[in-house]
Structure 1
Amino acid sequence: MCYDDNARPPIPDGERGTAQGDDVVLNSADGTRFMAYFARPEKPGKGQVIIYPDVRGLHQFYKELALRFAEVGISAIAIDYFGRTAGISSRDESFEFMPHVQQVKLDTFFQDVQAGLNYLRENADAQGATFPVGFCMGGALSLQSATRSEFGFKGVIAFYAGLKRAFGGGATALEQADKIVYPVLGLFGGADQGIPVSDVRELEAKLQQKGIEEKILVYEGAPHSFFDRRASDYAEASSDAWRQMLSFIASYS
């Protein structure tokens, strides 16, 4: 599990405005209803994000992360993965997520992404550049999304992406790296026990070989899920991760 119920996203440095967030239910192309959370800034700036959560799906950490983005002027929608298998229900710590994780397939996930993008673009700044931001499983899915030109992203952001995680028996994010078409910002912990730095460097090398603009950062000594307000030992890594994300979004918006 990436984040428990007590985890909260760090607060970005600098000036913040106000934001409003709401639970919404979206409809995928195959008729599936699934949960999402939309956060709208009082004064929109450039860029908007679609947030891919960790293995637990849409829980409180990601709703608050959407609000943190909106407070700095970036509209955000966080989506749930499990509408087809778990319906619309709570994703608190009592949710047994793994049977549902094992049923996630890329083709239906991409349908949900498109539904999320449609809602975001209809209810936020339709002209804004859009970026997926994924964590753990969501980081892997962010890289998988980077192979799909039809989404019209300007770049993708992946936190501690499971580079060798496959969905529905398909290829892993590392195996798909030569098909990525958008700039990539990758943020990893140097002490992450599940993601060897050698895998991260292989991803970096593949992107460079293809000529994809990339920035891959490994925070020395930081573990998986270091981006957490409670993790005071990694507060500087979290602050820098915010700076990197906002700079990346500004650069491509």
Structure 2
Amino acid sequence: MPHRPHLDKQADFDALLPSARLDRRGFVTTLAAAGFALAVQPVQASTTIHTEPGGLDTGNATIEVEGGALPVYYARPASTTPQPVVLVVQEIFGVHEHIRDVCRRLAHEGYLAVAPELFFRQGDPRSIESVGEILQKIVSQVPDTQVMNDLDACASWARNHGGSPDWLGITGFCWGGRITWLYAAHNPALKAGVAWYGRLDGLPSDKNPHHPIDIAGALHAPVLGLYGGQDQGIPLEDVDAMREALEQAGAQSTIHVYPDAPHAFHADYRPSYRKAEAEDGWKRLLDWFANQRG
């Protein structure tokens, strides 16, 4: 397995410049992109799971950020006691009902969950039927730096709206899974992250100068990665390389692979949903967050 560079934990993550990539990375990225398009299906009208909002405070809000007002969906226990905060990062389809439901599930577990519409400047992916068009017209236009700053703004908003200043977590799905790894290297106040089948490797670009495998040594918080062994877009070779990078860095992060699961096995609104793996992954998420809370 080729050597993968990783960063020293003390490195300034935001000042990094992309290092030279092997030609293999370009080849793998092309295959992964093709597999990603095959693995991702558009949003369906309904979800398998619906979490009732009873006993919760849920709603929509906006946060002033550079470039406009960032829309967010939030869910929290109906209590005045400060709650630990979890940022919930969308898939490429935006903050649809599945992502909102994840927020309500977390709220029932005692968290203030906040899901921002991170594509609001570029467009609404729910208005586009083609996955390829969503990737080209919206996703590829979103700079990682912008996303990091927006998530920082959400964390700050949460602290001023019932969230505890002492505990911040993050979880994300697919596109948001990659962002989860990056945010763990960006925010030193983060306590824990759970990344669901987020891409680990790829070609660098001006908007995406580095990928999770490059920043394994820069993580400020432990991340649990949940991946499918049958994922057409994320080769197991990448998962193994990420594990190696984490081990070399001495990171307290770990990756769990479900051998028979495809990409998006937690997405209960798509044919890729796998009930057993999704439920087990959710339990692992709750345990991971609880363990990091002490």
Does the CA-based 8 Å contact 1:38-1:77 persist in structure 2? yes
What's 1:202 paired with?
241
Q: Which runs of 5+ in 1 are unaligned?
A: none
CA distance in 1, matches of 2:196, 2:48: 13
Distance 1:185 1:10, change over 3 A: farther
- SS of 2:115's equivalent in the other structure is strand
Does the CA-based 8 Å contact 1:63-1:78 persist in structure 2? yes
Q: Which of 222, 230, 235 is the matching residue for 1:191?
A: 230
What's 1:219 paired with?
258
What's 2:277 paired with?
237
Alpha-carbon distance, 1:214 to partner: 1.6
What's 2:218 paired with?
179
CA distance in 1, matches of 2:103, 2:248: 34
What's 2:18 paired with?
none
Alpha-carbon distance, 1:36 to partner: 1.0
What's 1:102 paired with?
140
What TM-score, normalized by structure 2, do the two folds share? 0.75
CA distance in 2, matches of 1:220, 1:11: 27
Distance 1:10 1:250, change over 3 A: farther
- Are residues 1:53 and 2:93 paired? no
- SS of 1:181's equivalent in the other structure is coil
- SS of 1:218's equivalent in the other structure is strand
- Are residues 1:139 and 2:177 paired? yes
Alpha-carbon distance, 1:115 to partner: 1.1
Distance 1:21 1:233, change over 3 A: closer
Superposed CA offset, 1:167-214 (max 9, x none): 614112212222222101000011101111121121112112111112
What's 2:126 paired with?
91
Alpha-carbon distance, 1:125 to partner: 2.8
Q: Which of 18, 43, 61 is the matching residue for 2:55?
A: 18
Deviates more, 1:169-178 or 1:73-82: 169-178
Distance 1:18 1:213, change over 3 A: same
Superposed CA offset, 1:128-183 (max 9, x none): 41111011111111111111144x11011100011124561411221222222210
Alpha-carbon distance, 1:124 to partner: 2.4
Percent identity (aligned): 26
Does the CA-based 8 Å contact 2:83-2:164 persist in structure 1? no
The residue identity in structure 2 corresponding to 1:8 is T
Answer with 1 or 2: which has the greater Rg. Answer: 2
Superposed CA offset, 1:38-85 (max 9, x none): 111135686321011111222221111111111121110001122222
CA distance in 2, matches of 1:214, 1:163: 14
Alpha-carbon distance, 1:121 to partner: 1.4
Alpha-carbon distance, 1:2 to partner: 5.8
CA distance in 1, matches of 2:48, 2:166: 24
Superposed CA offset, 1:11-33 (max 9, x none): 79xxx9732311111111x2422
- Count residues in correspondence: 246
CA distance in 2, matches of 1:68, 1:134: 14
What TM-score, normalized by structure 1, do the two folds share? 0.87
The residue identity in structure 2 corresponding to 1:188 is Y
The residue identity in structure 2 corresponding to 1:197 is L
CA distance in 1, matches of 2:196, 2:42: 13
The residue identity in structure 2 corresponding to 1:39 is A
CA distance in 1, matches of 2:161, 2:76: 9
CA distance in 2, matches of 1:27, 1:194: 35
